[in-house]
């Protein structure tokens, strides 16, 4: 199997249509390709990852053989030649030059920066630095300035940072939405400057959190975005707290553990409602041990309005973690469990295809829209 099996434009157009339908992140995750660094397919004014497109096009051209894997062929110039032979335009970006224009190279995560600091550091005179979204001229960076608690004259929407996830509302006019959504495709890094309130830091400064990546969005003008800290999609299984154990603080440690368990189980009214709706059993495993059952949000927690039974599942603690890490999802059409492929040979593989246990009352059953959003974010 090779890219020479593709004889016409149509399979490439079919792959492009699937890319548009799924979005770049789900498309690349589905076929296990990485973003292009230098070679981009240009079609109808949009950029597409050239190697991923040609690999998937092979499946459309040769249904019996299926798509090519990233390891099956070389990208770059061979893909460029093939796509140009088929009449497509390829744009080559100097990845080295792009990397040299990343402003993150001069910023320190965790440090406080005022807009005046940034103006001096990068010789910026553009007044639009004072807006919430700023693209420094001549760089491959986009800066987001986010204030969690808005002043009284601003929109009541509250942006929230929860661990590695950031829930942020874009600009009302929506002019910068495409810049956020397609930042990876355009070779741009998305850098977040965050503060809880306007004068949290001297000089109305922001704490620089580092690069984030676009995950999803809903609505428009303004759109509500879900962003994730780069390289923080899942806590590595080897990661652990390296703090040295202090035997003099055993009582404090015990209280910290109990508090963590309470927080993980969820707010009591929300958990109690889910316990009743799911007859005190895990919605996936059927486990009835209350000590390990937790209230899981389908659409991530964003205040009391998301503490609705239709936005929750009662899950065993380990399954809750897999759900939050987007390692499993629910097919809303069949109400069955989907487990990511690389876990299907583990003990969790037996959950794949299992039917979800549903509350008897239809009004308490999980929201189809929320399940579909979580599944989309999981790439399943």
Q: Stretch 338-357: mean pLDDT, rounded?
A: 91
Query: Six-digit token pair at 123?
Result: 């010789």
Higher pLDDT, 235 or 276: 276
Report the pLDDT value the prediction gives residue 100, as an integer from 0 to 100: 55
Report the pLDDT value the prediction gives residue 292, as an integer from 0 to 100: 87
Report the pLDDT value the prediction gives residue 97, as an integer from 0 to 100: 47
Residue-wise pLDDT tens digits, 328-340 = 999 999 999 999 8
Query: Six-digit token pair at 147?
Result: 């204030």
Residue-wise pLDDT tens digits, 181-213 = 888 777 788 999 999 888 889 999 999 999 998
Residue-wise pLDDT tens digits, 86-111 = 999 998 865 444 555 789 888 888 88
CA angle 334, 283, 316 (to 5 degrees): 135
| 138 has a pLDDT exceeding 50 | yes
**Count of CB atoms within 10 A of residue 142's CB?**
21
Average pLDDT, the chain: 83
Q: Is 237 helix (H, G, I), strand (E, B) or coil?
A: coil
Question: pTM to 2 decimals?
Answer: 0.44
| 253 has a pLDDT exceeding 80 | no
Q: Are 238 and 226 in contact (CB under 8 A)?
A: no
CA distance linking residue 8 with residue 15, whole number of Å? 12
């Amino acid at each position: 199997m090779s890219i020479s099996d593709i004889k016409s434009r149509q399979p490439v157009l079919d792959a492009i249509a699937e890319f548009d339908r799924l979005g770049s992140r789900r498309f690349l995750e589905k076929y296990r390709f990485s973003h292009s660094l230098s070679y981009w397919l240009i079609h109808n004014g949009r950029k597409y990852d050239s190697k991923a497109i040609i690999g998937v096009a092979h499946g459309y051209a040769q249904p019996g053989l299926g798509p090519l894997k990233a390891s099956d062929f070389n990208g770059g110039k061979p893909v460029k030649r093939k796509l140009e032979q088929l009449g497509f335009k390829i744009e080559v970006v100097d990845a080295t030059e792009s990397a040299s224009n990343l402003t993150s190279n001069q910023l320190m995560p965790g440090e406080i920066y005022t807009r005046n600091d940034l103006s001096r550091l990068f010789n910026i005179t553009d007044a639009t630095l004072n807006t919430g979204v700023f693209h420094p001229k001549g760089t491959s960076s986009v800066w987001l300035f986010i204030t969690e608690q808005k002043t009284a004259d601003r929109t009541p929407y509250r942006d929230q940072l929860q661990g590695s996830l950031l829930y942020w509302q874009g600009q009302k006019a929506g002019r910068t939405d495409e810049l956020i959504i397609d930042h990876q495709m355009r070779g741009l890094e998305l850098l977040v400057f965050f503060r809880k309130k306007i004068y949290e830091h001297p000089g109305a400064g922001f704490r620089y959190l580092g690069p984030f990546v676009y995950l999803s969005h809903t609505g428009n003008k303004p759109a509500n975005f879900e962003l994730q800290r780069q390289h923080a999609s899942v806590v590595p299984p080897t990661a652990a707290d390296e703090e040295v154990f202090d035997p003099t603080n055993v009582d404090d440690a015990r209280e910290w553990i109990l508090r963590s368990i309470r927080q993980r189980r969820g707010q009591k009214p929300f958990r109690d409602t889910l316990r009743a709706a799911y007859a005190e059993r895990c919605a996936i495993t059927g486990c009835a041990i209350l000590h390990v059952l937790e209230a899981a949000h389908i659409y991530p927690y964003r205040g009391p309005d998301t503490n609705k039974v239709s936005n929750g599942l009662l899950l065993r603690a380990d399954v809750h973690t897999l759900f939050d890490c987007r390692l499993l999802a629910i097919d809303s059409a069949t109400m069955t469990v989907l487990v990511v492929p690389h876990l299907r040979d583990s003990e969790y593989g037996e959950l794949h295809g299992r039917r979800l246990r549903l509350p008897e009352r239809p009004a308490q059953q999980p929201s189809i829209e929320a399940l579909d959003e979580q599944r989309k974010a999981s790439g399943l």
